[in-house]
Chains A and B, each alone.
Chain A
Amino acid sequence: VTVTDEQVAMLRAHLNGDKAEHDRLAAEPDPPDFQPGFNALVATAFVEAVNRRFGRDRLLADIVRFVAHMRAEFLRDPDLLDPIAAEKLIQAALGDQQAAAELDDDAKARGQVFLLPALVDEAKLDRDGVDGLLTTARNQTDNLAV
């Protein structure tokens, strides 16, 4: 599976809060976020962003606070994201392979899509920063797919 430019554009629009571009891409006959490879791109971007954010400390308390802050500040309804699932996704991204083992693919993708903008915001990434994150994620995804 190869990541396409449109898939990167879709995720970029999501992370930059560019609703018009996101809606334009979503309205296409074959929306990029429904194509093979998009979830893998999101997952690698998520792992990259999580590792940048939590680094070596990886304290569970820090993860718990981050998820609570994210649900409180970024979601119109905090119940849209299960906090335990979100914490497990972050732990899994930090290398605990079993942490998110019980989550299905939809739950993982949903959690990652919700959490990524908060990670980008907290890292204070501007558009160039987002592009850098996406370039890294795309390269990693392409390598995964080979």
Chain B
Amino acid sequence: MRRVTMAVTADQVAALRAYLTGDLDKYERLVDQLDADAAAAGYSALLAAAFFEAVDRRFAENGTAADVVKFVGDVRAKSQRLAEIDPTVAERLILHSLGEGSIGDLDNETVISNQFLLLGALIVDEQLDNAGLDQFLAEARTVAEEWTS
């Protein structure tokens, strides 16, 4: 049987980049233009890979479960979308990225929406310049393509 490969597209990367730079008008426009079927797999994989990479950068070396709890609390406290971030889900997503626990009981919509909001906060804290953000997205794209190939 032939294996189907779902590549991450440049448009998907550009859409995520627009979100992470806070250009939400551009983000909305680019997301609307994405092919719906391709976006369902490729874009969600890119988002998940970016989340994985950002969590790894933030917590993998010295992060503790307590650090994760405080980070999520801080994100929610600053967020205008506080009610949309379930702290227990958010903590579990981060810990799962670090190799702890399971998220098998969470539906895709919950995972994606929480990863999306948390990723924005993680990248804000990273204070990446343009080159740093490009490198981050390139790494995320590589991971996403490995996952979907």
Contact = CB atoms under 8 A, between A and B. Distances in A.
A129 interface: no
Contact of A68 (B69, B82, B86): B69
Contacts of B65: 72, 77-78
Contacts of A84: 86-88
B73 A73 contact: no
Contacts of B69: 68, 71-72, 78
Interface residues on B, range: 10 to 19
Majority secondary structure, A binding face: helix
Nearest to B70: A72
A43 B70 CA distance: 26
A15 interface: no
Interface residues on A, range: 10 to 19
Contacts of A71: 66, 69, 73
B77 A62 contact: yes
A119 B67 CA distance: 20
Majority secondary structure, B binding face: helix
B74 A65 contact: yes
A111 B131 CA distance: 46
B78 A68 contact: no
B141 interface: no
A59 to B, nearest CB: 9
Contacts, number: 47
Contact of B87 (A61, A69, A83): A83
A135 B82 CA distance: 37
Interface in B92-134: none
Contact of A82 (B72, B73, B88): B88
Contact of B72 (A62, A68, A77, A79): A68
A67 interface: yes
Contacts of A73: 66
Contacts of A64: 73, 76-77, 82
A60 B85 CA distance: 14
Contacts of A72: 65-67, 69-70, 73
A120 to B, nearest CB: 20
Interface string A70-106: 0111000111001110000000000000000000000
27 contacts: A61-B76, A61-B77, A61-B82, A62-B77, A64-B73, A64-B76, A64-B77, A65-B74, A68-B73, A68-B76, A68-B87, A71-B66, A71-B69, A71-B73, A72-B65, A72-B66, A72-B69, A72-B73, A73-B66, A77-B65, A78-B65, A78-B66, A82-B88, A83-B73, A83-B87, A84-B86, A84-B87
Interface of A: 60-62, 64-65, 67-69, 71-73, 77-79, 82-84
